[in-house]
Amino acid sequence: MSNLSKNGKRIYIQEVSVRDGFQMEPIFIPTDRKVEFINGLSRTGLAKIEVTSFTSPKAIPALADAEAVMCRIDRVPGVEYAALVPNMRGCERALSCGVDEINLVMSASDSHNMANLRMTPQQSLEQFEQIVAAVGGRVRLNASLSTTFGCPFDGEVPLSRVLDTVARFVDMGVDGVTLCDTTGMANPAQVARVCDAARQRWPDMVFTAHFHNTRGMGLANVLAAAQSGIDRFDASLGGLGGCPFAPGASGNVCTEDMVHMLEAMGYDTGVDLEALLVRARQLPDIVQHDIPGQVVKAGPWTRRYPVPAAKAAQGA
């Protein structure tokens, strides 16, 4: 790796395959397999794992075992264990399982919030306010803003609307905010604009970026956000993922591909890529289909092949 510049900048990797990924799978992955898989992920150097979601089991049947999974996984020191929560009921369930962080979710756009959560954004904000009061600082609270970079129903979401919603989160006193590109509509120039605006207005807020690779712009968007100073990224092993209530949604940015790119560029992700690849290779058997990740197939850029014998003899 001597030809690489080591900028040494720390980037925190937050794994969402077992929530954003598994929620989209048509088969129900048995609880034991989820627990075993998460226990493996916990030992790869990831900063955070979004373990499950405490949503209605009718809305997301794939994660109907949220309590069992959350309560049975190993809690490896240094890893934060989070869960997605849409409402007060979900908050109570998450607290009963001792989560480290509740990740509140709502959309920047009206139509996606209605399709996904059956609430207006205003109603979601009211739920959040009640949750913040009920939690009373017992666990960390993060707010995820879906469709920040565009809505599959309403189209472009004005930056002013995104910032106004983030301002509500900040006023409530959340510990972190995630800017989510739910259906891969973001492009790198837009990502730079949105992230710069958010970071300039709230320089001390902990921002995460959450991209989907639906249109092949995922890693380019990660890079644009990193260059805007974002240092936390959600990603999904194998590139699984997608919202069942957003037409055309597909996988998140692939964790191992993202770690591979960032490490090659000299960022410090804290993640052991080889250990992550061991887990990625288990996924096709768990989800019963091929996965879109690329490094798991090609191997890291450091991979070398033997020089073909005939060419070596010719000195070619």
Among the residue ranges 86-94, 151-159, 288-296, 301-309, the one whose residues contact ligand COA (CB under 6 A): 86-94
Residue 294, CA distances (Å) to 116, 164, 279 in order? 30, 37, 14
236 binds, among ligand COA, Zn ion, none (CB under 5 to 8 A by kind): none
Active site residue 97: no
> Quick one: 44 or 182, whose CB is closer to Zn ion?
182
Among the residue ranges 47-55, 130-138, 257-265, 282-290, the one whose residues contact ligand COA (CB under 6 A): 47-55
Instruction: Please state, in angstroms and rounded to a whole number, the distance separating the CA atoms of residues 29 and 140.
Output: 28
Residue 114 contacts ligand COA per CB under 6 A:
no
Q: 116-133 burial, b for 16+ CB within 10 Å, e for fewer?
A: bbebebeebbebbeebbe
135 binds, among ligand COA, Zn ion, none (CB under 5 to 8 A by kind): none
At 94 the three-state DSSP class reads: helix
187 binds, among Zn ion, ligand COA, none (CB under 5 to 8 A by kind): none
* Region of 155 on the Ramachandran plot (φ > 0 left; ψ -120 to 50 alpha; else beta): left
List the interface residues with ligand COA, window 190-249 (CB under 6 A): 243, 245
Instruction: Please state, in angstroms and rounded to a whole number, the distance separating the CA atoms of residues 241 and 198.
Output: 25
Instruction: Please state, in angstroms and rounded to a whole number, the distance separating the CA atoms of residues 292 and 308.
Output: 29
Residue 59 contacts ligand COA per CB under 6 A:
yes
List the interface residues with ligand COA, window 126-185 (CB under 6 A): 146
**Sequence-ordered list of residues with C-beta below 8 angstroms from that of 215, at least 6 positions apart, any chain:** 184, 185
> Quick one: 44 or 107, whose CB is closer to ligand COA?
107
The residues carrying an active-site annotation are 243
Binding site for ligand COA (CB under 6 A): 23, 53-56, 58-60, 86-87, 89-90, 93, 105, 116-118, 146, 243, 245
